[in-house]
Amino acid sequence: MGRVVFGAVAGRGGRRWVVGVVPWGVAAGAVAWCLVGSWRAARLENYPWNVWTPIGYGAVKGVFLGLLAGWCAVVVLRVVPVAWWRERGGVAVVRFAGLVLSGGLLGGLVPGTVRDFMGEPQPRTLYYFDGPRPESEWYWRPLLSEWLMCTVLPALGCAVLLAVGALVSVRSSRPERFGWAVPALVGVGLLFLPDWAASGAPEPVGNGDHVNESASAGLVVLATGLGLLVSAWVVWWRRRPRRPVGPASPGLTPPRSSPIPPRSVRGGG
C-alpha cells in the first residue's frame, strides 16, 4: 500500500495535487491568527503599552500552526486512496478541496484544543489581568467561549484559505512557483507588521518590563519574517532552471588527437 500511494503521489499526475499546499498553509495561518490577535488587541484598551503585541504574536503563531495545517493536509492527501485524482473535472477538484480542508482543520484545531481542555484554566481573552481560575469558574461557558473564538474560528478560516490557495496551485501551469513566492510575500508582510500594527498605538510606557515585552514581540516577528524569506530563497535556488553543462558551441570543441600509429609502422619492423 505504501508503494502504491507514494508512486501515485510522486507521479506526474498525482504529485501536482500536493505541490504548493504547505506554503499556502503558512499564508492562511498567518492571516487567520493575525486577525484573532487584532481582535484581542482591540479589547486591551486599558493596557495601551502592549496593545499591538497580540497582533504580532498571533501572526507568528499562525505561521507555525499554518505550517502544521499544510503538512496535515498533505498527509491526508497521501493516506487517502489515490484513485480519486483520476476522476473527471469537478469531482476530483471537489474531493481535493474537501481533503485539504479536512487536513488543514485537523492541523489547526488539535493543538489549541489540547491546550484549552487539558491545560491549566487560563482566560487569555476574557480578562487580561486575571490569573488562572478555579476549575469551577472556568469550565463550560468561559472555556467554550475561549475555545470557539481563539481556536475553532481561526482554524476553520485557515483551513478554508488553505483549500482556496491549494486550488489556485492545482489550476496553475507552474504550481511549484508558489513554493517560494507565497512564503516570500508572508515574510515581507511580517517585516512591515510591527510598524503597521503599532502605528495607531500609544508609545510604550510604564516600567521596563512593559517596554521590553513590546520590543521582544517585534524581534520575534522580524525573526520569523527573515526565516520565511531565507526559506523562500532556498526553495527558489533549488528549483531555478539549470543551464546545461557542456561546450557553448561545436566550434569550441577541442580537436580529437590522431591515434598513435602501430609500432610496426613507426619502427618499420
**Residue that wins the pLDDT comparison between 53 and 92:** 53
Q: Phi and psi of 168, rounded to 5°?
A: -60, -40
Owner of C-alpha cell 486577525: 35
Q: How far is 255 from 116, CA to CA, in rounded Å?
A: 75
Give domain limits for the chain. 7-176
pTM for the full model?
0.76
Nearest to 116 by CA among 136, 144, 137: 144
Q: How far is 59 from 196, CA to CA, in rounded Å?
A: 13
How many residues would you count in the chain? Answer: 269
Query: How do residues 40-58 score in pLDDT, each as one tens digit?
Result: 887 766 666 677 888 899 9
Q: Count of CB atoms within 10 A of residue 243's CB?
A: 6
Query: How do residues 205-222 score in pLDDT, each as one tens digit?
Result: 665 566 677 788 889 999
Q: What is the pLDDT of residue 217?
A: 86
Identify the sign of the CA torsion 195, 197, 199, 205.
negative
**Max intra-chain CA distance, the chain:** 112
Q: How far is 116 from 121, CA to CA, in rounded Å?
A: 7
Q: Phi and psi of 97, rounded to 5°?
A: -60, -40
Q: What is the pLDDT of residue 236?
A: 79
